[in-house]
Amino acid sequence: MSGKKLRVVVLISGRGSNLQAIIDDATDPGCPFELCAVISNRPRAAGLERARQANITARIVDHTVHGSREHFDAALVESIDAFEPGLVVLAGFMRVLTTDFVDHYEARLINIHPSLLPEFPGLDTHQRAITSGARVHGASVHFVSSTLDSGPLIVQARVPLLATDDVGTLAARVLEQEHRILPQAIRWFAEGRLAIRGERVTLDGKPALLDLQAN
């Protein structure tokens, strides 16, 4: 590929399977982005080891050593900005961010969430989907705004919710789609194909793909 690759910093808190999907995608020589760092708020996050295995800089900004949300977010900004990213990706990052943080990365901060937003923001999305009796569930990638799990949607993937599903089977089916749509959204961003128009996102000037079918 010609031209410079988009510099991406990924924030995690745990297992890092979405991070792994991004790492794997970035190994494609034609990939329009490169991972410059992975930052975790939890020192023992398994995802840190995935970053090290892939020779990507791994940093810890431990929220427990910062007295307030503001101090933690300021430390996080300092750590992220040292890598001069064009995009910051929240991939299983389990901290609520301050408005100052979100504003600082306006239009270059995206999140993966395991539900079809605006359904089920917050935690326990799979259990809540089962309890609600929904027939369809899924995952969303969106630009981050200062309200939790909200902001212009970039892409969603739907999966069937089966009568036989428990949280484990449903989470696994959704996770498979997360691993597909998160790298896809980063590629679109890196290729300059996304634009935010008010509350909506366009892809190549057309409404974004809010119904990406599972393969």
Residues designated as active site: 113
DSSP readout, 79-121? HHHTT--SEEEESS---PPPHHHHHHTTTSEEEEESS-TTSS-
Find the binder of ligand GRF among 8, 31, 89, 91 (CB under 6 A): 91
Query: Smallest distance, Å, CB 186 to ligand GRF?
Result: 14
Find the binder of ligand GRF among 8, 39, 97, 114 (CB under 6 A): 114
Total Cβ atoms within 10 A of residue 130: 18
17 interacts with ligand GRF by CB under 6 A: yes
Query: Smallest distance, Å, CB 124 to ligand GRF?
Result: 11
* Binding residues among 161-180 for ligand GRF as defined by CB under 6 A: 175, 178
Give CA angle at 50 (58, 141), nearest 5°: 90
* Binding residues among 139-158 for ligand GRF as defined by CB under 6 A: none
Provide the mask over 37-66, with x wherever binding to ligand GRF is found by CB under 6 A and - wherever it is not: ----------x-------------------
Biggest distance spanned by C-alpha atoms of the chain: 49
Phi-psi region of 176 (alpha: psi -120 to 50; beta: other; left: phi over 0): alpha
183 interacts with ligand GRF by CB under 6 A: no
> Nearer Cβ to ligand GRF, position 24 or 81?
24
H/E stretch holding 9: strand 6-12
Which three-class secondary structure state does DSSP give residue 60? strand
